[in-house]
Chains A and B, each alone.
Chain A
Amino acid sequence: MKPVQSADEVFGIIQEIKTRAGANFSTNFFPVRPKIESWIARKELQVELGQKVVFFFRKDRNLLHLFFVAENLQALEVETKALLALSGSTITLDLVGPANTIALTAEVLVNSGFHRYGSLIRLARSPGKETVTGESPEIVTVNRGDAAEILGLLEDFFDPCADQIPLLYEVESAIDARQIIAIKRKEKIAAFIHFETQGATSAIRYWMVAKEFRDQGLGGALLRHYFAIHPAVRRFTLWVNTANENALRKYERFGYAPDGLADQVLINQKITA
């Protein structure tokens, strides 16, 4: 395994495999250049060149997120098996797509030594009549001084293997881009939403209420405010862990419904979410 030196190296490798693979090409890697460049600058991205498969690893805390680019599924099974036999690290990977299209690849990866860890589904909603009603607790855009507290809340509540928790610099970038709104109580972050808006679509990355502030209506107030400050958005989306029934129920109440996309999370160790 060696560090990736440039985004061009990544795109060059992918193109080379694609050219050789033709219609059998298989991957879970759909890189976006600015993100790749950021990972490389922080030395988070490494590559392992196989014969017919190339593996990219992104270091995240004490685990590695795996991306593969394969000439075909048979080669993926053989070379993944060899990779896992040599690795002492915790490795996770995500397969994203309509549930029926990722099933076969998931089976191949399970045959090569991965275990099913959890699954997420994407929910979407159209805009409704977005008005802020009832009590209006003070909703603020957070600043960089809040980043560590927000990260602490995320790490306490979410699962790094399945939920892809951001690193501190990513939380700071989101704050700089004004993508986090919060309710503060007694100088503490009581609830927050981290979102990303691109044109007419806005995606919630995280929505949470700190334990000691639950059952006070803060999460709902924040969500209604989030909808209200996005009048031009025609589609709201988010990913939710299917094991989080409480969140699923809440999102459903706010008009979200499954849109058909699933994310199967695999891990190389026998642990469950």
Chain B
Amino acid sequence: MKSVLEILKEIRPEFDFAASQDFIGDGMLDSFDMVTLVSTLDKNFNISIQGTDIVPEHFQNVGTIEALLRKSGVEA
């Protein structure tokens, strides 16, 4: 299973996600990218992230995405 960082790197190889705490503000992800990312996370972790959770604050950085995964049933 791939890590969140590996998935982000595959989606946007041009960005250094490990160096950012604000993916939205730093222009690395936008609201459209969140939809694509959710679909990839669902497949990779075999979960279904709820539509209600597709909000910018859950996609700020690796930490918030990992918290979203735990909330969606992925074990730490």
Smallest Cβ distance from A103 to chain B, in angstroms? 13
Q: Interface stretch among B2-10, B46-54, B60-68?
A: B46-54
Q: What 1/0 mask marks residues of chain B from 33 to 71 whose CB sits below 8 Å from any chain A CB? A: 001100100000000101110000000000000000000
Q: Are A122 and B32 in contact (CB under 8 A)?
A: yes
Check A201 for interface membership: any CB of B closer than 8 A: yes
Interface size of A in residues (CB-CB distance below 8 Å): 28
Range for the number of chain B residues in contact with chain A: 10 to 19
Bitwise, B12-44 to A at CB < 8 A (1) or not (0) is 101100000000011110111001100100000
Name which residue of chain A comes closest to B36, CB basis.
Answer: A98
Cα A200 to Cα B25 in complex, Å, equals 9
A18-B51, A25-B50 known; A200+B32 contact, CB < 8 A: no
* Complex alpha-carbon distance, A32 and B25, angstroms: 13
Q: Is the CB of A200 within 8 A of B51?
A: no
Is the pair A101, B35 in contact by a Cβ cutoff of 8 Å?
yes
Pair A261/B14 contact, Cβ less than 8 Å: no
Instruction: Let me know if A98 and B39 touch, CB within 8 A.
Output: yes
Interface residues of A in 154-197 (CB under 8 A from B): 197
How far, in whole Å, are A200 and B14 apart by their CA atoms in the complex?
10
Q: A97-B35, A98-B35 are in contact. Are A201 and B30 (CB under 8 A)?
A: yes
A200 contacts B15, CB within 8 Å?
A: yes
Question: Which of B27, B39, B48, B51 lies at the interface centre, i.e. has the most chain A CB atoms within 10 A of its CB?
Answer: B27
Most chain A beta-carbon contacts within 10 A, residue among B32, B35, B51 = B32
Interface string of A222-250 (1 = CB under 8 A from B): 00000000000111000000000000000
Q: Is A12 an interface residue (CB 8 A)?
A: no
Nearest CB on B from A224, distance (A)? 20
Q: Is the CB of B39 within 8 A of A101?
A: yes
A119 at the B interface (CB under 8 A)? no
Task: Check A201–B28 contact: CB distance below 8 A.
Answer: yes
Q: How far is the CA of A233 from the CA of B48 in the complex (A)?
A: 33
Name the residue on B nearest A100 (C-beta). B39
Contacts of B32 in A (CB 8 A): 96-97, 122, 261
Q: Are A126 and B36 in contact (CB under 8 A)?
A: no
A-B pairs, top 4 by smallest CB distance, nearest first, are: A199-B27, A201-B27, A25-B51, A199-B26
- A residues with a Cβ closer than 8 A to B are 18-19, 21-27, 30, 32, 96-98, 101, 122, 126, 197-202, 233-235, 260-261
